[in-house]
Amino acid sequence: MWITWANLLTLSRLSLALPCALAVSAGRWPLAGALFLVAVATDLLDGPLARRLGQSTPLGGLLDHATDATFVCAALAAFACTGVLPWLLPALVGAAFLQYMLDSRALRGRPLRASWLGRWNGIAYFVLTGMLLAQRALGSAWPDDRLWTGLAWLLIGSTLVSMVNRAVAWSRARSDGQPPARAPGGR
């Protein structure tokens, strides 16, 4: 059964992705910040709720991660539209999630297999977005956008490393004839 309280909470976060991106594009910083905070709250609550109610499933995990990737891609793309971040970051976030999902065989009902680097990249995408929103909502000129761009390029690098590691692990596992127990490459 996929209609659960936790999945409904996750879907509510998905419904915030486009409005948040539009608010970023329009420079409506308090609204974008509020939508971001609601999204983070739903992300922090959906997993524990699913576990508490005994409704944790691989599908729920996939929905949660897909929603996170969609939300953060939309927000990062909106910042790319404003020229603050390079377009490569939201593109790689989407590609890395797709690789993560396919490599984990999540579409076949298997649980997602995250790596250490992939998990931290996923958190860093949200942190970068939140810091940018907080700076703009507070009307601060510090730090300069060059810092955000530099951090974005660091995330681009760590995402590429994560994707290469996952591809190498997948390739090795295929040549051995078995899926990797835990992919070191990440999201």
Can you tell me which residue has the tokens 């929905």? 63
What separation, in Å, do the N-terminal and C-terminal C-alpha atoms of the chain show? 26
User: Is residue 75 assigned to a domain?
Assistant: yes
Q: Say what the pLDDT of residue 62 is.
A: 87
The answer to whether 64 and 43 have CB atoms below 8 angstroms apart is yes
**Nearest residue to 148 (alpha-carbon basis) of 82, 68, 92, 96:** 82
User: Is residue 182 assigned to a domain?
Assistant: no
Q: Say what the pLDDT of residue 44 is.
A: 95
Q: Say what the pLDDT of residue 106 is.
A: 60
Low-confidence ranges of the chain (pLDDT < 50): 183-187
User: Is residue 187 assigned to a domain?
Assistant: no
User: Is residue 185 assigned to a domain?
Assistant: no
**Measured between alpha carbons, how far is 14 from 46 in angstroms, rounded to an integer?**
12
Domain at 73, CATH number = 1.20.120
Residue range(s) defining the domain that contains residue 58: 5-174
Structural domains counted in the chain? 1
